[in-house]
Amino acid sequence: MKIAFIDHHLDNFHANTFINILRDRTLIPYEVEVGGWELQGAAKEWCTQHDVRPLKSIDDAVRWADSVMVLAPDNLECHLNLAEQVLPAAIPTFFDKMLAIEVEDAERIADLATRCSVPVFSSSALSFAKELALAAELRANGPIHDVLTCGMGSWRGYGIHTLSLALALMGANPQRLIDTGTEGARTLTMDYRDGRRAVVDVRTCANEYELAPWRFIARADSRAVATVVTDYSGFYIRLIQHVVEFFRVGVAPFTLNDSLMAVKILKGANDSLAQGGTWIPLQ
């Protein structure tokens, strides 16, 4: 399997973490060769350090690889530009974190993927937190009725992680939302058609890793489960395992509509907050 890393700059936490997971045969039981290219033009040093094939251009990358990981986790505004160069090659493509920051960009990526018949997968690693398995016992007796997910970081670029916990528990089909928080303390409420509700609380502060770790409480009828996400390396491992399986079989664990909905929710929360906390319908 040949995987091309396409990035804004390759020297970042995600690229470093992903390459180490891909190289560990106890985690990924396949022969994987990785190539790298970045917008900043300094890929050679990172590629040499990690024994990765330096790629001269995106065209070179998609000719050489049989699958692509579009990273740029800290520069999500680059995803559309990169997608427009990658997707016409029609090879399976993963977009790190989310399709795009802006709804319009995400819709253009989804439309291009559909027109080019390209399998696309996009997700936050938090969608694969092992702690989510605690909710399985609740689902055995019916759907989860309500959840509270809490986490940290700025809403732009980081809110996707706490939101992903909620969507993993409740599904990516809320009908409307409202954000009654503030810029540094977001409080998003999502209503579902069947009367279920999810609340997503995201805090931004200097000591957020100490005080606002990712956690959730989920309730079905009179029973609930609650936990803190502690296995950080684990959710990255499970993400990459799902990415590799996606590259192998061409079927993503989430639909394009699911990935689009995540972007719409994040943008809808911004719109609601800007309007003083009003309900925003989701389509």
Beta strands at 223-228 and 215-220: parallel, antiparallel or unpaired:
antiparallel
Read off the pLDDT band of 184 (50, 70, 90).
very high
Decide if pLDDT at 141 tops 80.
no
Chain CA centroid to CA 63, Å = 26
Do 142 and 136 touch, CB atoms closer than 8 A? no
- 31 burial type by CB count under 10 A (0-12 exposed, 13-18 middle, 19+ buried): exposed
CA distance 260 to 262: 5
pTM, whole model, 2 decimals?
0.95
What six digits make up the tokens of 168?
Answer: 């993993």
pLDDT in tens, 68-124: 999 999 999 999 999 999 999 999 999 999 999 999 999 999 999 999 999 999 999
Tell me the average pLDDT across 138-150: 91
Domains (range + CATH), the chain:
2-118 (3.40.50.720), 126-229+265-281 (3.30.360.10)
- pLDDT at residue 28 in the model: 97
**25-29, 91-95, 205-209, 273-277: least confidently modelled range:** 205-209
Residues 6+ apart with CB under 8 A from 181: 187, 188, 201, 273
Tell me the average pLDDT across 16-43: 95
Read off the pLDDT band of 49 (50, 70, 90).
very high
Residues 6+ apart with CB under 8 A from 192: 170, 171, 173, 174, 175, 198
Q: How does DSSP classify residue 135?
A: G
Residue with tokens 């997707």: 87
